[in-house]
Structure 1
Amino acid sequence: MIRFENAGKTYPGQARPVVDGLDLAVPEGTTCVLIGPSGCGKSTTLRMVNRLVTPSEGRVRVGGADVADLDPIALRRRTGYVLQGIGLFPHRSVAQNVATVPELLGWPRRRIAERVDAMLDLVGLDAGRFRDRRPDSLSGGQRQRVGVARALAADPPVLLMDEPFGAVDPLERGRLQGEIGAILRRLGKTVLLVTHDIDEALRLGDRIALMREGRLVQVDAPERLLARPADAFAEAFVGSDRWLKRLALIPAAAAREPVAAEGAPRLPEGASLRDALGLLLAADAERVALAGEGTVTLASLRAAAVDAAGGFTCAP
């Protein structure tokens, strides 16, 4: 559990707080995404958790303990941290990068080696191929996977992610988001993630905390944020196409028809209604095949979307 209790941060010489009276709880095992315009206080809020930023007022608790009462070095060693620049040590191999925190914690060498291989496998990198490579020989997506493996290596209960996919090629970003999101849900980590990308927030967040000028505007599940924005700012931020964004939250299987799929374009496992619509239009097809049995048509997709849209309100 991460809890902000009237937490605020004002820097000397500034007219207003960067973060102002923040009250927010991130339940254990969930992912909360902080989102909002540049300068709204997202990253400052995240850095209060591991004491890279000290609150000017209020407190931040992790697992019930006030972080101000904890040794900052020990706190950071048991808090995973993934950032946009990734921050891998260029002179150290992939294995040495992943082993950083376990080495600082004094783990036995054999345990570290086993953990490194397990973490590389977890993030989809073959240990035999990647263990001894240097970061400059990796693609952006591969470096980000190593960064996540390093953050998880000591099995921290809390993971902080600051614009983790911002430096990744757009063509790889969606796939990487999906894979890392599935890993975090499987591990049951408590995650606080910062992004400016509403689609990324909707894809990864169990709850989304929308901020403006250091204050919370709305904290809600992704579906409810899209269905009922709290005010005009929230509505503008999620976008006029929020009904289409909502299709990305509904699995394509919701529109399943028990019809043979011979010759139909195939959707990947875990595809959404938006993925199905995109493939139908791109392939100019009458139906697309699901990863399991059955197909999706425009008619079945429309019916599933309408059925799932109970209570969804949209400006005319």
Structure 2
Amino acid sequence: MIRFEGVGKRFPGAPAPAVDRLDLTVPQGRTCVLIGPSGCGKSTTLRMVNRLVEPDTGRITVDGADVRAADPIALRRRIGYVLQGVGLFPHYSVGRNVATVPELLGWPARRIAARVEAMLDLVGLDPALYRDRRPDALSGGQRQRVGVARALAADPPVLLMDEPFGAVDPVARARLQEEIGAILRRLSKTVLLVTHDIDEAMRMGDQVALMREGRLVQADAPERLLAAPADPFVAAFVGQDRALRRLALLTAGEAARPLAEAGITGLEIAGPEIAAGTSLRDALALMLAQGADRARVTGGPEPALLTLEAIRAAAAVEAAS
């Protein structure tokens, strides 16, 4: 768990605080995404956790321990850190990059070698193909995977990610977000992630914290932020198309009704067949393309019916979810 209690930071000569009286809790094993306009304080907030920036006021704790009571170097070795552009050592091989923190911690060579192989496998890079390559022989997406593997190598409970996919091309970015997000959830890591991309925030975050001028405006689950913005600033920031963004977070299986409950059989549905895990945004696109107002949903506990009316209700953004 990461907790900010009345945290503030003002840089010398600045007319206003970079971070102002921040109260925020990131639950254990969850991903919190910090988002907001440029200069809102999100990167400063993240860097105060591992003391790359020192807070002026308030208290930051990780698993109940005040970060200011820890040796900064020891603290950083216990917290994974992934940044934009990855920051791999260009003269090291991929394997040596991944081994960086375990080596600093004094792990035995055999344990390090096994860990390097396990981490490369975890992020989808075959160790036999990539372990001995240099970073300049990798694509942007591959370098980002190595950066994540390096951050996870010493099995830190907390991971900080600062614009981690900003240098990756748009084609690879969405896939990386999905895959890395799934890995972090499977490992139950507590993650604080900074991004300027609202779609990335909604895709990766269990919690999204929107900041403005150093202050926290709203912190909520992504679907709640889209369904019930706290004020006009939040509504404007998440965009007029927030209904479609909300549909991307929900699945056909969640919105469908069992066929038995609807009182019909699958044979009566003149429409497409859609997998239960399909997002409602993709389900809507498929139904509109086929001119259908309902679809059969498969792959869930039982066959179900999805209607345009149900999608419309799920997209409602004025009511709380």
* Cα drift, residue 14 of structure 1: 1.0
1:277 aligned to 2:287? Answer: no
Contact 2:6/2:21 (<8 A) preserved: yes
Deviations 1:280-306 (Å, cap 9, x if unpaired)? 55x657598978489999xx3523324
* Cα drift, residue 145 of structure 1: 0.6
For 1:34, the aligned partner's letter is L
Instruction: Note closer, same or farther for the CA distance 1:270–1:90 as it changes in structure 2 (3 Å cut).
Output: farther
Instruction: Note closer, same or farther for the CA distance 1:301–1:73 as it changes in structure 2 (3 Å cut).
Output: farther
Instruction: Note closer, same or farther for the CA distance 1:288–1:111 as it changes in structure 2 (3 Å cut).
Output: farther
**Distance across 2 between alignment mates of 1:291 and 1:131:** 41
Instruction: Note closer, same or farther for the CA distance 1:145–1:214 as it changes in structure 2 (3 Å cut).
Output: same
- Tell me which residue corresponds to 1:90: 90
Q: What's the RMSD between the two structures over aligned residues?
A: 2.5
Residues 205-244 of structure 1: pairs in structure 2 closer than 5 A: 205-244=205-244
**Distance across 2 between alignment mates of 1:68 and 1:219:** 25
Instruction: Note closer, same or farther for the CA distance 1:285–1:122 as it changes in structure 2 (3 Å cut).
Output: farther
For 1:272, the aligned partner's letter is S
More displaced, 249-258 or 82-91? 249-258
Residues 125-204 of structure 1: pairs in structure 2 closer than 5 A: 125-204=125-204
**Distance across 2 between alignment mates of 1:267 and 1:106:** 51
Structure 2 alignment gaps of length 5 or more: 260-264
**Distance across 2 between alignment mates of 1:91 and 1:285:** 57
Residues 1-316 of structure 1: pairs in structure 2 closer than 5 A: 1-254=1-254, 270-279=277-286, 292=299, 300-309=306-315, 312-313=317-318
Contact 1:33/1:194 (<8 A) preserved: yes
SS state of the match for residue 230, structure 1? coil
Contact 1:279/1:288 (<8 A) preserved: no
Deviations 1:246-291 (Å, cap 9, x if unpaired)? 001111334668859xxx999789431112334555x657598978
**Distance across 2 between alignment mates of 1:127 and 1:267:** 37
SS state of the match for residue 193, structure 1? strand
**Distance across 1 between alignment mates of 2:17 and 2:142:** 37
SS state of the match for residue 160, structure 2? strand
Instruction: Note closer, same or farther for the CA distance 1:253–1:97 as it changes in structure 2 (3 Å cut).
Output: same
* Cα drift, residue 128 of structure 1: 1.1
Contact 1:288/1:295 (<8 A) preserved: no
Give identity over the alignment, percent. Answer: 70
Instruction: Note closer, same or farther for the CA distance 1:12–1:233 as it changes in structure 2 (3 Å cut).
Output: same
More displaced, 286-295 or 237-246? 286-295
For 1:156, the aligned partner's letter is P
Contact 2:275/2:299 (<8 A) preserved: no
Deviations 1:120-147 (Å, cap 9, x if unpaired)? 1111111111111111111111111110
Deviations 1:208-230 (Å, cap 9, x if unpaired)? 11000000001111111111111
Instruction: Note closer, same or farther for the CA distance 1:191–1:206 as it changes in structure 2 (3 Å cut).
Output: same
More displaced, 210-219 or 125-134? 125-134
**Distance across 1 between alignment mates of 2:298 and 2:194:** 32
SS state of the match for residue 248, structure 1? helix
Contact 1:79/1:156 (<8 A) preserved: yes
* Cα drift, residue 109 of structure 1: 0.6
More displaced, 287-296 or 39-48? 287-296
Equivalences, count = 307
Contact 2:208/2:221 (<8 A) preserved: yes
**Distance across 2 between alignment mates of 1:159 and 1:207:** 15
Q: Normalising by structure 2, report the TM-score.
A: 0.88
SS state of the match for residue 58, structure 1? strand
**Distance across 2 between alignment mates of 1:236 and 1:302:** 26
**Distance across 2 between alignment mates of 1:113 and 1:278:** 47
**Distance across 2 between alignment mates of 1:277 and 1:170:** 23
**Distance across 2 between alignment mates of 1:291 and 1:164:** 35
